[in-house]
Structure 1
Amino acid sequence: MSIYVKKNLLALLCLGLICAASCKKDKPKEEEPVQKKGIQLATDVTFGTVLTDSAGRTLYMFATDVAGAPSCSGGCETIWPLYYSSSTSTDLNLNAAEVGVVTRADGRKQSTYKGYPLYYYKDDLAAGEIKGNGVGGIWFVGKPDYSLMLANAQLVGADTKLYTSAYVEGSGNTRYFTDSKGRTLYAFSPDKNKTNTFTKPDLSNNAIWPVYEETLKSVPSVMAKADFSSITVFGKTQMTYKGWPLYYFNQDNARGINKGVSIGPAPGYWPVLMLTSPVAPAP
């Protein structure tokens, strides 16, 4: 082989090595999968978007925790173990501002979503299982898009007296509706079906009993979406339940407070909304 041919072969070999090194250098690195941490969102065929932990296990909310303090302990916690993660969330579709932490009476920490402490259910043995929804009518799968929630709590009027669901003095929890963050919702007993008779045209009394303005999305499974609708009240869109226009009470300055039940000529003049509430009377 001539020296000329050898030189050409050597040049070609060097050029090939340079190109290979250049191609290797220019090839983009494959991105490593982001490790999931904290609360995640998952899609379920029955419940839509639900809350899970980083491994895909379903998280639940407890209606008795409406005030934001965990009330499931002892034997209850054996069935509904608490969920806690020091990480908020790596899921970009979840509003991290809604994630929080509460310290339990025994000093342990528990993660919250929209103020509700979060739990597992013991019979959910694998990721994606949702066997605990609706248990006792007070346990619900965690969801980011509830428009309303169900509370299971004592009614305590602005007069500091305890009331039952019949609005007579007495102790015992009542199951009633709140907004998605635990603020109590009321009806005005003189109202008619889909007719607000309280709010003034100038909205001067709306600061006392604000109309509940919310678009209907998801509701806990014990509620029927067909029972909800909306009306227009002097430029505001007010949600209704069984025809009853829904209101807040301005003295309920924290979640789980229901002072409005004692306001009026008699307790129950401004009743809370319940699954057993009758259909509002026709106008």
Structure 2
Amino acid sequence: MKNSIFLLLISITVLYSCSSDDSDSPSNPEPEANAVQLVSNTTFGNILTDADGKSLYFFSRDSKGTSACSDGCIANWPVFYANNLTLDTGLETSDFGEITREDGEKQTTYKGWPLYYFINDNAAGDTNGDQVGNNWYIAKPDYSLMYAEAQLVGKDTDGNNVNFKSDYTPGDELTFYIVNATTGRTLYTFMNDKKDTNNYTAADFSNNAIWPVFHIDIDKLPSILNPNDFGTIDVFGTSQLTYKGWPLYYFGQDTERGDNLGINVPNPGVWPIANTDTPGAPE
């Protein structure tokens, strides 16, 4: 009788031990990775990835918040969409959204920029798509500015849209330019300014609503932009960001994401956009 009780106690102990150590038991499932992860990358710092660690990207042509990548483009840059949007610590739900593409598919966005994969990223941590065509950039949460590529569209005297090329002559052409990363709002220079000198803004800021001075503390930039090209000046007690010595402005009538209506006000080229081809401001 004593031997039977002893054997029963041993059996119970063994069964309990096996149950407790079984990490694959349904009662102890492995936690699922979040749909969007914040991953530290040795080259880019914190980047956005999917649940498997695959890198996500922004497209410069999506400055209006809609996707300009379709047909053959999508074959190389597949859409990212998370139906159940769970996020790593450090990411805010309010920064994410979704769009319905022209092909009817849904796509997740971050701060208004649709998110994509790159077909030549074969493993978690690959970032082979950054700066492809100068218009694809690794998705980061801390870009201060973005590099857009879009048609320049101004207004004629009757209020009709007029397309302009990068040389500010009428015509169809995609032009690169710098925008605010969060709002996609276009940044401009003023042809009458000098190096680190704002010659437009009135001392009482009475004309600031027309061409507001722009300032942001530079954190991270798309890889095509050189941080050393940016600076800060004081304009009657207000900070203004400069690019290659040119003070940067918004245009007050750019009300929609992606607008660049200031490019022909009052005439084409008086308020140029800023991009990597912009020459340094004169002394």
Report the TM-score when normalising by structure 1. Answer: 0.86
SS in structure 1 at match of 2:195: coil
Q: Cα RMSD (Å) of the superposition?
A: 1.7
Cα displacement (A) at 1:211: 1.0
Contact 1:88/1:100 (8 A) holds in 2: no
- What is the alpha-carbon distance in structure 2 between the residues aligned to residue 212 and residue 87 of structure 1? 37
Pair 1:137-2:139 in alignment: no
**1:77 corresponds to:** 74
- What is the alpha-carbon distance in structure 1 between the residues aligned to residue 273 and residue 62 of structure 2? 18
- What is the alpha-carbon distance in structure 2 between the residues aligned to residue 32 and residue 200 of structure 1? 64
- What is the alpha-carbon distance in structure 2 between the residues aligned to residue 218 and residue 75 of structure 1? 31
Cα displacement (A) at 1:88: 2.8
Counterpart AA for 2:144: S
Contact 1:37/1:87 (8 A) holds in 2: no
- What is the alpha-carbon distance in structure 2 between the residues aligned to residue 253 and residue 38 of structure 1? 33
What is the aligned length?
253
**2:93 corresponds to:** 96
Cα displacement (A) at 1:213: 1.4
Cα displacement (A) at 1:151: 0.9
- What is the alpha-carbon distance in structure 2 between the residues aligned to residue 86 and residue 232 of structure 1? 46
Cα displacement (A) at 1:166: 0.4
Gaps of 5+ in 2: 1-27
Cα displacement (A) at 1:126: 1.1
- What is the alpha-carbon distance in structure 2 between the residues aligned to residue 146 and residue 73 of structure 1? 25
Cα displacement (A) at 1:35: 2.6
Counterpart AA for 2:81: Y
Cα displacement (A) at 1:57: 0.7
Cα displacement (A) at 1:235: 2.2
**1:172 corresponds to:** 173
Pair 1:246-2:248 in alignment: yes
- What is the alpha-carbon distance in structure 1 between the residues aligned to residue 174 and residue 87 of structure 2? 37
- What is the alpha-carbon distance in structure 1 between the residues aligned to residue 120 and residue 236 of structure 2? 49
Larger Rg, first or second structure (1 or 2): 1
Cα displacement (A) at 1:218: 1.0
Q: Which of 199, 202, 207 is the matching residue for 2:201? A: 199
1:101-145, Cα deviation, whole Å (9 max, x unpaired): 010012110000010110000111111110000000100000111
Contact 1:140/1:221 (8 A) holds in 2: yes
**1:218 corresponds to:** 220
Counterpart AA for 1:241: Y
**CA spacing shift, 1:111–1:193, aligned 2, 3 Å:** same
Q: Which of 102, 112, 123 is the matching residue for 1:105? A: 102
Cα displacement (A) at 1:201: 1.4
Percent identity between the two aligned chains: 47
SS in structure 1 at match of 2:88: coil
**2:15 corresponds to:** none
Pair 1:35-2:37 in alignment: no
